[in-house]
């Protein structure tokens, strides 16, 4: 099983940006925690971070060509206004889970809306690094369900 993890703008600044919201752990720690969990679950994982919308779209399309089983995406602020990312996610048929480190529903009003979540199978928000780990479990579960049916 292969999962592609996509992190959007400013997530490379974890540990530097708004530590009261996102904590003091850096981006590399997030990547290690994802890889550690993937190894335990025997999942092949590719983790990317891009600050630009177009590059995230290219990676979504690449995941399709590469026949990835799932995408975990934290679109960062693009969550709240990128119809282009919505359309890219809607174009591909693998399992897609949107994740957020913070609880976007408990923050400023502009963060309460996700225009990308409706193109995904589910959304997990507010659990820090655990959001990504639970998303891996969700994709694994959905894929094993497919194998059973």
Q: Give me the active site residues, please.
A: 22, 100
Q: Please identify which residue in 10, 25, 33, 62 interacts with ligand DQA, judged by CB under 6 A.
A: 10
- Put residue 10 in one of left, alpha, beta given phi > 0 → left and psi -120 to 50 → alpha: left
Write out the H or E segment, with its range, that includes residue 100.
strand 95-100
Among 65, 81, 89, 85, residue whose Cα is nearest residue 2: 65
Q: Are 27 and 14 in contact (CB under 8 A)?
A: yes
User: Please, which residue, 95 or 116, has the CB nearer to ligand DQA?
Assistant: 116
Write out the H or E segment, with its range, that includes residue 37.
helix 27-41
Dist. CA 108–CA 130, nearest whole Å: 22
Tell me: does residue 72 bind ligand DQA (CB under 6 A).
no
User: Please, which residue, 19 or 66, has the CB nearer to ligand DQA?
Assistant: 19
Tell me: does residue 32 bind ligand DQA (CB under 6 A).
no
User: Please, which residue, 108 or 148, has the CB nearer to ligand DQA?
Assistant: 108
Tell me: does residue 70 bind ligand DQA (CB under 6 A).
no
Tell me: does residue 47 bind ligand DQA (CB under 6 A).
no
Q: Are 99 and 132 in contact (CB under 8 A)?
A: yes
User: Please, which residue, 70 or 76, has the CB nearer to ligand DQA?
Assistant: 76
Q: Please identify which residue in 6, 57, 60, 79 interacts with ligand DQA, judged by CB under 6 A.
A: 79
Binding mask 86-105 for ligand DQA (x = CB under 6 A): --------------xxx-x-
Strand partners, 95: 70
Contacts to ligand DQA by CB under 6 A: 10, 74, 76-77, 79, 100-102, 104, 111
């Amino acid at each position: 099983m292969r999962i592609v993890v996509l992190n959007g703008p400013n997530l490379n600044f974890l540990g530097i940006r708004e530590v009261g919201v996102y904590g003091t752990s850096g981006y590399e720690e997030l990547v290690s925690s994802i890889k550690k969990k993937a190894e335990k679950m025997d999942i092949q994982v590719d983790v990317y971070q891009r600050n630009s919308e177009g590059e995230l779209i290219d990676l979504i399309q690449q995941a399709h060509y590469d026949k990835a089983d799932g995408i975990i995406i934290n679109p960062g602020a693009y969550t709240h206004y990128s119809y282009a990312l919505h359309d890219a996610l809607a174009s591909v048929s693998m399992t897609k889970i949107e994740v957020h480190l913070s609880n976007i529903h408990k923050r400023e009003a502009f963060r309460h809306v996700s225009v990308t979540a409706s193109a995904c199978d589910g959304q997990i928000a507010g659990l820090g690094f655990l959001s990504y780990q639970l998303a891996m479990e969700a994709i694994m579960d959905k894929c094993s369900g497919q194998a059973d049916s």
